[in-house]
Chain A
Amino acid sequence: MLTYSLKRLAQLFVTVLGVVTLVFFTMRMIPGDPISAMAGDNLSGAALDQMRDQMGLNEPLLLQYLRYLGGLAVLDFGNTVTTRLPIIRLILDALPVTVSIAVGTIILTVLISIPLGTLAAYMAHKGHKMLDNAITGFAMLLDLMPSFWTSLVCLLIFSLALGWFPASGTVSIDDPWQLARRVALPVLVLSMAQIATMARITRTSVLEVLSEDYVRTARSMGWSELRVLFRHALKNAALPIVTVIGLSFGNLLNGTVIVEFIFTLPGIGNLLVGGINSRDYQMVQTLILFYAMIFVLINFATDLIYRVFDPRVQF
């Protein structure tokens, strides 16, 4: 186990280094350089040169790269170009909003899709094809709806027509009630996109487990169907479900960018779109890197969890 973890950790390190390198050099491929792109035509040559000096852009590329790596190691991402604030501060301020959307989505998804998937599996197992097909088809439909479109439709129905949730307004973590009301619709929208995958996996793995001998044994011992289903079948089907939560995290991150933009929530996704629009490459670079790191770490954790909890996996 330990050797495996260390091996995976080394692999992770190579990937992370690769990601950082890729992001750094891609951002340097921008025609001209970040400074002239950002300044546009507003600054003279001398002023531009002074700014380049300040940001170390006149130094050899390799030195810039090493300096950048050194900065990352101590979580120094530099300052934004427009407001000169430390980027890490902005990210940390915006992070709670994004995290509450992501966590809320995972909770709601699990709460809906696991019972739904289990029910579908049970119905399929019992030969009730109709209900199984209905659930599977419904999940498919949810899966295929583009989240920006679902967002607008939900906004139209729940905010504008029914007025249940505010469509705009300030958000801060100091006011959890307001935050929850603003985050509710985005969470609903993103869950709709996630439910399909999760319900499908739950259905497949529960269905597989339901024909195992120990489920038959549990039944023959006279336990209720519910107990058999949840205590015996679902418990043994849990690992693939956990894996899928990890794997679909990338989609979830994609989705947070979209919903933050639509519902004007001040999370890191909005920071990213804002950074692109104001041509703040330092910011864009940091945020893309940040998303990739979250995704890589989640995948790493999922992999380890799978290996720790599945007794059949050998090391």
Chain B
Amino acid sequence: MTQETISLPIRHPLKLSGLHSHSLVRLLANRRVQLSLAILGPILFLTIFRPLLPLPGPLETNLRAMTQPPSLEHVFGTDRMGRDLFSRTLAGVQISMFVGFAVACLALVVGLVMGTLAGFFGGVIDRVMMTITDIFLAFPSLLLAIGLVSVMGTGMVPVVLAISLSDVPRFIRLQRSMVLGLRTRAYIDAARTVKASQFWLMTRHIVPNTIAPLLVAASIAAANAILVEAGLSFLGLGIMPPAPSLGNLIRDGQAYLEQAWWISTLPGAVILLIAIGLHFLSDGIRQVLDPRSRK
């Protein structure tokens, strides 16, 4: 403990708990990260290179191969219009990944800016911001998204916005609480004594130290966004058919559960795999970047 307080003002704050230059190496050496890459890597690879693979297009119907169970030719089987479900699932993963990434970025950036301002300046800004986040946090996340989508309409952009709106308040809260803890630290006072501007303090001394927990939160938010998007599409309020999304693929198969179990269950299993992968990834990032868990 004493060692930490002595070394704090001397070292550059960037090196405290932020991103080291060799973070990436340590990240790749982490068991959980490796495990998540082993799960997510192949899925990502197949998704990115889907157009190059010998697969029928996701929208291509084939009336001679309707509702076929999984086989070597159609790994995930086909739906009632003869569309190849493996191809459709991969196209759905592409949408899921995009939604997850977009929501995580949006929540991270907006949360970072607003949370830093609220925590650093305090006072009226803080109180107004906290009241607003309180209001948004009063809605269960899926229900907020349902409400917003019912107003904004379905499709990619409304879905991303609707899901982000329930994540942004959480990020603002997180960032604010970290900034509150940092702004009274000795090294901040030290920087103040040499006339560092407020902008400098925020961008060079405070924000770098909050990046690691925000990244962990962002990877959790991405996983969550993928599940919420699937939920919305499943309810018929997200990505609309014929565009395949994991959620509406599952919805498609619901009516044929008895005759064709594979239509719903296999895309669902892929969602589960992605969720597990992202879970290990966030766990791994946390282990690597959290100074307390270092041995």
Residues of A bordering B, CB below 8 Å: 11, 14-16, 18-19, 22-23, 26-27, 29-30, 140-141, 144-149, 152-153, 155-156, 160, 249-251, 253-254, 257-258, 261-262, 272-273, 276-277, 281, 284, 288, 291-292, 295-296
Contacts and interface: CB of A to CB of B under 8 A. Distances in A.
Interface residues of B, number: 41
B230 A148 contact: yes
A254 B138 CA distance: 13
Interface stretch (B21-29, B66-74, B200-208, B233-241): B233-241
A272 B146 contact: yes
Given A284-B150, A288-B143, A291-B140, A144 B279 contact: yes
A140 B276 CA distance: 8
Given A14-B131, A156-B257, A257 B271 contact: no
A19 B150 CA distance: 17
A269 B52 CA distance: 42
Interface stretch (B78-86, B99-107, B260-268): B260-268
Given A144-B272, A146-B272, A258-B235, 18 more contacts: A14-B131, A18-B131, A146-B268, A148-B250, A149-B271, A152-B257, A155-B257, A160-B257, A249-B140, A250-B141, A251-B140, A262-B254, A273-B236, A288-B147, A292-B139, A292-B143, A295-B138, A295-B139
Contacts of B147: 23, 26, 284, 288
Interface string B123-145: 00000000110111011111110
Contacts of B227: 146
A154 to B, nearest CB: 11
A147 B142 CA distance: 12
Given A155-B257, A253-B143, A254-B140, A144 B275 contact: yes
Interface in B142-174: 142-144, 146-148, 150-151
A146 B150 contact: no
A23 B135 CA distance: 10
23 contacts: A15-B131, A18-B134, A18-B135, A30-B151, A144-B275, A144-B279, A148-B230, A149-B268, A149-B269, A152-B268, A153-B268, A249-B140, A250-B140, A253-B140, A257-B143, A258-B142, A258-B231, A258-B235, A284-B150, A291-B139, A291-B143, A292-B138, A295-B140
B258 interface: yes
| Majority secondary structure of chain B interface residues (helix, strand, loop or mixed) | helix
Given A273-B235, A284-B147, A288-B147, A15 B138 contact: yes
Contacts of A145: 272, 275
Contacts of A146: 227, 230-231, 268, 271-272, 275
Contacts of A29: 151
Nearest to B149: A276
Nearest to B233: A148
B152 to A, nearest CB: 9
A149 B235 contact: no
A166 B32 CA distance: 41
B59 to A, nearest CB: 23
Contacts of B131: 14-15, 18
